[in-house]
A and B are shown apart, each in its own frame.
Chain A
Amino acid sequence: MMPNDPYNQLVRDCFSDPQHAGDLTNEYQITSAATVAESVAGDRLTVTVGIDDGLIAAARFRADACPHLIAAAELACTGLENQTIGGLRDFDSHKIMRRLSVPPEKIGKILVLEDVLTTLAQQIEQSIQE
């Protein structure tokens, strides 16, 4: 990082070429999406997961958000694929924040991602029970 550069290379890579941006295109046994909006700055994040045989087969996101949250969503979607549903609850935001060198004033933004994944886990668990 150059002096004054608020973004490390991983943030720049995830921001400029997010592989998991967009919507799911295939059919899955379970498809679930959750959106959380942050009230102060107005950031919005949607994560959609497609589940087959208890595994997250695909994850995609959409965001109207800062580069750090976009990069965090990209890393989270990458990490969720091929995980069990429990992976949504086991999401380690601190690990992602360290990888992205998220500055302290941005930590609240990453919590938006945590909230989305928690909501997704609740929705999926509920739909399985039903």
Chain B
Amino acid sequence: MTDAIVYLDFASTTPLAADVAAAMHECTAAENIYGNAASQHPAGRKSALVVDHARQQVATLLNVEPERLIWTSGATESNNLAIQGVARTRQHRGKHLITMLTEHKAVVDTFRALEREGYVVTWLAPGEGGLLAADVLADAIRADTQLVSIMHINNETGITQNIHELGHICRERGVSFHVDAAQSTGKVRLDLSDAPIDLLSLTGHKFYGPQGIGALYIADFAAVPITPLVFGGGQERRLRPGTLPVPLIVGLGRAAEIAHEQMDNDLRHLRALNRRLWKGIADVADVLRNGSAEQCFPGILNVSVADVNGESLMLGMEPICVSSGSACNSTSGESSYVLRALGRSDREADGAVRFSFGRTTTNDDIDAAIERYRYAIKQMRSLAPGP
């Protein structure tokens, strides 16, 4: 078995693409771009030029006007800005908000914070296959509902919500619709030009860009006014003040450009890897697939066994880098709330492993993961007491 690190945690963060690193290096070292992009002197204008170019690159990826994008530090900030921003602006009209039980912590904790301030949040449970049914959302919307926030691709399972259908429900009822697209941007086609989506969060480091940079798409600044979270300058339409991190923005722009060009090839590659991985572990006794192949993004495969301690399974799998549903690997001390919302037991959630792979993953990486997973399960089961 391999002793080399095999990285299969792309849903957590992706490695920086070499071309992205080169673009960032060129910006800082070769082009010597260091000016404050808000300054009007030549050095500032030079920075503003590359920032505008990057904004266009991201806009092209999403098929939107670049003016609809504002830079943030990543999806967590974008989610906070969208959810808190809309909720606070419209609180005089109503304090009802809607989201799902299976959202990322960046969304869940934001809504929890708003609940503590007196907002009322409806937490929708996933239905068949982890999907949110349109009629369930329609029934949950009230006269005082101000915002619905639903993630596109789930970070743990890869289950992909039909955001167009859900967005139309919101639009018909005049409710703002926010999508956390941290896991989908740059990985699947997102054409927002005619999508019923008011706000969309993205981050660079999930699609081979740098960590620490993301964006929030706002379809219509007038129709969806947002209260900023921080104050201190006029940048980004006063919604996100602060000096722009130019090299990071250049990196995000280049990552978007590459994703736009390579997306079809990437998806084909991921589908092949997913099939190979599942074929290699599907016959492990009592293994469960969390989310069907038809409903999931192919870059994520989440599997569970109920009779193996999740934390020991993770350690037994080293040096394969994967994520776990185990309580001991979470800061909350609970096993995955996402998997439990999908109907998995505590033990099944605890024994879950998320394999996530990407552009640079090879068949050898997958084969090494299969071998280690099978070995670790066998070891743990052979060590266990009898029933």
CB of B223 within 8 A of chain A?
Answer: no
Say how far A119's CB is from chain B's closest CB, in angstroms: 14
Number of interface residues of B (CB under 8 A): 18
Beta-carbon contact of B315 and A63 below 8 Å = no
Binding site for B on A (CB under 8 A): 6-7, 12, 15, 18, 21, 35, 41-46, 62-67, 70, 105-106
Say how far A95's CB is from chain B's closest CB, in angstroms: 23
Beta-carbon contact of A43 and B309 below 8 Å = yes
Closest to A6 in B: B328
Beta-carbon contact of A62 and B385 below 8 Å = yes
CA distance A98 to B316 in the complex (A): 23
Beta-carbon contact of B328 and A66 below 8 Å = yes
Say how far B322's CB is from chain A's closest CB, in angstroms: 15
Beta-carbon contact of A67 and B307 below 8 Å = no
Counting from the closest, the 9 A-B pairs by CB-CB distance are A46-B385, A64-B384, A62-B385, A66-B311, A67-B315, A44-B385, A67-B312, A21-B383, A42-B347
CB of B52 within 8 A of chain A?
Answer: no
Could you name 8 residue pairs across A and B whose Cβ atoms are closer than 8 Å?
A6-B328, A15-B315, A35-B385, A41-B350, A42-B350, A46-B386, A62-B383, A64-B380
Q: Enumerate B308-348 residues with CB–CB distance to A below 8 Å.
A: 308-309, 311-312, 315-316, 327-328, 333, 346-347
CA distance A18 to B316 in the complex (A): 13
CA distance A67 to B312 in the complex (A): 5
Beta-carbon contact of A66 and B312 below 8 Å = yes
CA distance A114 to B122 in the complex (A): 45
Beta-carbon contact of B315 and A41 below 8 Å = no
**Contacting residues, chain B, for A67 (C-beta < 8 A):** 311-312, 315
CA distance A105 to B328 in the complex (A): 9
**Contacting residues, chain B, for A45 (C-beta < 8 A):** 385
Beta-carbon contact of B315 and A42 below 8 Å = no
Pick from B312, B328, B346, B383: contact of A42, CB under 8 Å: B346
CA distance A62 to B379 in the complex (A): 12
Closest to B335 in A: A41
Beta-carbon contact of B385 and A41 below 8 Å = no
Assuming A15-B315, A41-B350, A46-B385, is B309 touching A66 (CB within 8 A)?
A: yes
CA distance A66 to B328 in the complex (A): 8
Q: Enumerate B348-379 residues with CB–CB distance to A below 8 Å.
A: 350
CA distance A40 to B179 in the complex (A): 35
Beta-carbon contact of A70 and B333 below 8 Å = no
CA distance A63 to B311 in the complex (A): 13
Beta-carbon contact of A70 and B383 below 8 Å = yes
Say how far A112's CB is from chain B's closest CB, in angstroms: 12
CA distance A42 to B316 in the complex (A): 19
CA distance A42 to B384 in the complex (A): 12
Assuming A7-B315, A41-B327, A43-B309, is B350 touching A63 (CB within 8 A)?
A: no
Say how far B52's CB is from chain A's closest CB, in angstroms: 38
CA distance A79 to B312 in the complex (A): 23
Closest to A12 in B: B315
**Contacting residues, chain B, for A35 (C-beta < 8 A):** 385
**Contacting residues, chain B, for A65 (C-beta < 8 A):** 309, 312
With A63-B385, A67-B311 known, 5 other A-B pairs at CB within 8 A are A7-B315, A62-B386, A63-B383, A64-B309, A65-B309
Beta-carbon contact of A63 and B327 below 8 Å = no
**Contacting residues, chain B, for A6 (C-beta < 8 A):** 328
**Contacting residues, chain B, for A63 (C-beta < 8 A):** 383-385
Assuming A41-B327, A42-B347, is B384 touching A70 (CB within 8 A)?
A: no
Closest to A106 in B: B328
Closest to A36 in B: B385
CA distance A12 to B316 in the complex (A): 10
CA distance A75 to B118 in the complex (A): 52
Assuming A63-B384, A64-B380, is B312 touching A70 (CB within 8 A)?
A: yes
CA distance A67 to B317 in the complex (A): 12
Say how far A7's CB is from chain B's closest CB, in angstroms: 7
B275-319 CB contact bits vs A (8 Å, 1 = yes)? Answer: 000000000000000000000000000000001110110011000
Beta-carbon contact of A64 and B315 below 8 Å = no
**Contacting residues, chain A, for B385 (C-beta < 8 A):** 35, 44-46, 62-64
Closest to B307 in A: A64
Say how far B352's CB is from chain A's closest CB, in angstroms: 14
**Contacting residues, chain A, for B328 (C-beta < 8 A):** 6, 41, 66, 106
CA distance A67 to B334 in the complex (A): 17
Pick from A42, A44, A66, A105: contact of B333, CB under 8 Å: A105
**Contacting residues, chain A, for B350 (C-beta < 8 A):** 41-42
**Contacting residues, chain A, for B327 (C-beta < 8 A):** 41
